[in-house]
Amino acid sequence: MERTYEPQPDITQPRKAAKRKKPKLSLFGYSQIGKIDLPFFVLVIALLTVGLIMMFSASFVSALYNTPDNDSLYYIKRQLLFAVAGVFFMIIISKIDYKIIRKYTLPLFIGTVALLVVVRLLPPVDGVYRWIPLGAFTLQPSELAKFTLIAVLAHLIALHPERMNDKKYILLLGGIIGLFVLLLMLEKHLSGTVLMLAIGLGMLYMGGMLNNKKWAFPVIVGGGAAVLAILIFIIYKNPSINGHAYERIYYWIHSEADPLGKRWQTNNSLYAIGSGGLLGSGLGQSMQKYLYVSEPQNDFVFAIVCEELGFVGAALIILTFCLLIGRGVKIAKTSKSFYGSLLTMGIVFQVGVQVVLNIAVVTDSMPNTGISLPFFSYGGTSLMMLLMEMGVVLSVSRTARLEK
């Protein structure tokens, strides 16, 4: 599979570009080493296409009823705009040497922290501090924070991989992770907090933390899980700690309670998934999107996917995510630089965790945290950031020795 694309011209180039001579491509003073990884690119485009179609299918009813002008195209129009821009940036970034990012690690870190502080200082929207208004659109700093955390950790780990057993160094890394986690907690961004924690721990683990100890793996994973479990238990027993989180845990455990209120979204998500059966009701045929599944364009888009495409469709999409992650890991493993590996792995891991958490929430396998599904859920900043991250992975893939 990897060999098939080799003799072909670089299809990521616009036709105009294809006619030009290769040297002209070093537009950013970066001398080209190799071509981007086509399978990864194809998988990204495939997921993006299916994601856009399904987001549109899931959202048009809700858009019709709930948007100011009763415009059923409201969400898809915006999402398409971001998708086009995102793909554009992805291609640009794929052509830049990713190592440039490393040079700007500190400004990126400071800028992100500053944005996270600013968003906390702005008046809350719907009780949470998440968005910075920018004209017609809004910026969600937490989306940027995910990448920043990956970039900072990748940089520091690659800088001193030998110090990954050094307690002080680990403490520094842990402190950075803790800062992000704390800022997102202040934002009242539950899913963001969880995600930061997961990314942080994942990066430490992959960075080779405690690599001289055999029990490093069980300690980190088991410890993380145990901390999470204890945290859930403590919150469940002491609602005053975090009322918001308590509520979500409570209604996850008490699945029969308040079917018209707190359990409405989850119950209807289950009805939608269950209605899908093996083959689904067909594209566009969901009944549950008729205001039953609230905000089906966002976190619960996968419920509508399951209803319309059935188990077969849902499984195929999960499989595509597997392929994407698998390909990403391959890129990471064959990258020439350790930094590139860690960056790629961090991004791929982030996507994997988000998919896992989203599907787990939609299927009522864990409390409702409100996490988006990559490529599918509505959200401009999120999609842009995701595609740009994909651009970074593609950039790394240029330097990777994929062909053995």
177 in contact with another protein (CB under 8 A): no
Site string for another protein, 81-110 (x = CB under 8 A): ------------------------------
Helical residues (DSSP H) of 187-300, grouped into ranges: 190-206, 216-217, 223-237, 243-253, 264-276
Closest CB 318 distance from another protein, rounded Å: 5
Token readout for 9 is 């011209």
272 in contact with another protein (CB under 8 A): yes
CA 193 distance to own-chain centroid: 13
**Which residues within the stretch 212-231 sit at the binding site for another protein (CB under 8 A)?**
217, 221
Gap between the Cα atoms of 112 and 89, Å rounded: 19
Helical residues (DSSP H) of 135-222, grouped into ranges: 141-159, 167-186, 190-206, 216-217
Size of the site for another protein (CB under 8 A): 57
As a residue count, the chain comes to 404
Among 355, 371, 392, 393, binds another protein (CB under 8 A): 355
Closest CB 259 distance from another protein, rounded Å: 10
Among 111, 161, 178, 224, binds another protein (CB under 8 A): 161
Question: Which of 136, 278 has the CB closer to another protein?
Answer: 278
Please report how many Cα atoms fall inside a 13 Å half-sphere around the Cα of residue 210, on the Cβ side: 15
Within 10 Å of residue 110's Cβ, how many Cβ atoms?
11
Closest CB 267 distance from another protein, rounded Å: 8
Among 105, 191, 341, 397, binds another protein (CB under 8 A): 341
From 276, 247, 287, 277, select the one nearest 263 (Cα to Cα): 247
Among 67, 138, 211, 399, binds another protein (CB under 8 A): 211
Q: What angle do CA 341, 342, 343 make, to 5 degrees?
A: 95
Closest CB 326 distance from another protein, rounded Å: 7
Q: Looking at 47-55, 104-112, 202-210, 248-256, which segment touches another protein (CB under 8 A)? A: 202-210
**DSSP assignment, residue 219?**
I
Which phi and psi (to 5°) does residue 139 adopt? -110, 135
Question: Which of 144, 150 has the CB closer to another protein?
Answer: 150
Residue type for position 259: P
**Which residues within the stretch 22-81 sit at the binding site for another protein (CB under 8 A)?**
61, 64-65
236 vs 191, 249, 340, 367, CA distance in Å?
17, 7, 41, 12
Q: What angle do CA 100, 104, 108 make, to 5 degrees?
A: 130
Question: Which of 101, 345 has the CB closer to another protein?
Answer: 345
292 in contact with another protein (CB under 8 A): yes
Residues with Cβ within 8 Å of 195's Cβ and at least 6 positions away in sequence, in order, are: 146, 350, 353, 354, 357, 371
Question: Which of 11, 356 has the CB closer to another protein?
Answer: 356
Site string for another protein, 318-337 (x = CB under 8 A): x--xx--xx--x--xx----
Token readout for 37 is 């990884």
Among 123, 167, 278, 404, binds another protein (CB under 8 A): 278
Q: Which residues would be at the binding site for another protein (CB under 8 A)?
A: 61, 64-65, 161-162, 164, 202, 205-208, 211, 217, 221, 267-268, 270-278, 287-288, 290-292, 306, 310-311, 314-315, 318, 321-322, 325-326, 329, 332-333, 338, 341-342, 345, 348-349, 352-353, 355-356, 359-360, 363, 365
